[in-house]
């Protein structure tokens, strides 16, 4: 009795295995018939990039001013930077709030309107309302950026509207701030405005910069005071 049961079990198992093979083969043939089509690839045209290294690898000409360069040129504030830039033409310089001035310094590359020069801070677009006075021809007021806090400045000399948009027709100025600093720094400077013998005014600045942090966190703070006096002394 046991022998017959074993033989029947073997026959049933063999039949089940053969049936499973037939089902598997049929399924494979069905899948092969469904993948015979050719996939179409859609063309994508890239006119701008948000990749951090896009400007470094591209053919765009960039001038970089590092702290050593800024010190050699005698640049102490936004007005000095605007004066020494060879690309600058017809920018707005009026550090005194008075006599119709608004106390702003606005970059104006190639003599176009200040709003045609894109100003970035650490690669992020700066709105007119945050660092300047809104208006038809108004640009970003770089006078509120403390220069002791600036690590370096990149200036894209050619128009970059294809990458950054229509507000970068004249060019791009990118201010990179100091994000890693350890210790305490106290400094100051004194000079004049170079507006001519009868119009020169004294300028002095004092700042305090402190920073701390570890491998994961960096904290940098700065207190900056700038004043223009009525005379040289």
Q: What is the pTM of this model?
A: 0.63
**Distance from the first to the final alpha carbon of the chain:** 123
Residue 23 domain-assigned (yes or no): no
pLDDT on residue 220: 92
The mean pLDDT value of the chain amounts to: 70
Residue 113 domain-assigned (yes or no): yes
pLDDT on residue 4: 44
CB of 92 closer than 8 Å to CB of 98: no
What are residue 65's DSSP bridge partners?
153
Residue 74 domain-assigned (yes or no): yes
What SS3 class is residue 174?
A: strand
DSSP character for 172?
E
Residue 39 domain-assigned (yes or no): no
* SS3 letters across 46-64: CCCCCCCCHHHHCCCCEEE
> Where does the pLDDT of residue 27 fall: very low under 50, low under 70, confident under 90, or very high at 90 and above?
very low
Looking at mean pLDDT, say which of 6-15, 35-44, 68-77, 170-179 comes out highest.
Answer: 170-179
pLDDT surpassing 50 at residue 73: yes
Q: Which has the closest alpha carbon to 187: 206, 214, 213, 163?
A: 206
Q: What is the count of structural domains for the chain?
A: 1
Residue 100 domain-assigned (yes or no): yes
The helices-and-strands tally (H runs, E runs) of the chain is 6, 10
Looking at mean pLDDT, say which of 7-21, 66-80, 154-168 comes out highest.
Answer: 66-80
Residue 41 domain-assigned (yes or no): no
pLDDT on residue 195: 57
CATH number at residue 186: 2.170.130.10
H or E element that contains 218: strand 218-228
| Separation CA 44–CA 60 (nearest Å) | 22
Where in the sequence is the domain holding 196, given as residue range(s)?
A: 62-228
pLDDT tens digit sequence for 109-154: 877 777 888 889 988 888 765 454 545 457 788 878 888 888 889 8
| Separation CA 37–CA 31 (nearest Å) | 12
Residue 185 domain-assigned (yes or no): yes
Residue 121 domain-assigned (yes or no): yes
Least confident piece of the model among 41-55, 82-96, 116-130, 167-181: 41-55
Q: Which has the closest alpha carbon to 128: 110, 140, 119?
A: 140
Least confident piece of the model among 16-20, 49-53, 133-137, 162-166: 16-20
Phi, psi of 63 (to 5 degrees): -100, 130
Looking at mean pLDDT, say which of 36-40, 67-71, 136-140 comes out highest.
Answer: 67-71
């Amino acid at each position: 009795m046991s022998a017959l049961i074993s033989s029947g079990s073997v026959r049933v198992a063999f039949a089940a295995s053969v049936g499973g093979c037939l089902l598997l083969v049929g399924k494979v043939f069905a899948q092969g018939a469904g993948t015979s089509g050719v996939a179409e690839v859609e063309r994508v045209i890239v006119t701008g990039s948000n990749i951090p290294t896009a400007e470094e690898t591209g053919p765009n000409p960039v001038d970089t001013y590092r702290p050593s360069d800024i010190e050699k040129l005698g640049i102490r504030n936004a007005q000095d930077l605007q004066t020494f830039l060879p690309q600058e033409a017809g920018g707005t310089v009026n550090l005194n709030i008075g006599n119709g001035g608004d106390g702003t310094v606005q970059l104006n590359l190639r003599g176009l309107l200040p709003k045609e020069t894109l100003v970035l801070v650490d690669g992020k677009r700066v709105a007119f309302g945050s660092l300047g006075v809104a208006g038809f021809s108004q640009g970003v007021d770089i006078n509120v950026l403390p220069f002791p806090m600036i690590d370096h400045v990149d200036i894209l000399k050619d128009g970059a509207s294809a990458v950054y948009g229509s507000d970068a027709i004249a060019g791009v100025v990118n201010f990179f701030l100091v994000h890693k600093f350890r210790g305490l720094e106290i400094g100051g400077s004194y000079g004049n405005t170079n507006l001519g013998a009868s119009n020169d005014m004294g300028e002095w600045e004092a700042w305090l910069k402190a920073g701390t942090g570890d491998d994961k966190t960096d904290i940098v703070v700065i207190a900056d005071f700038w004043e223009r006096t009525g005379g040289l002394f």
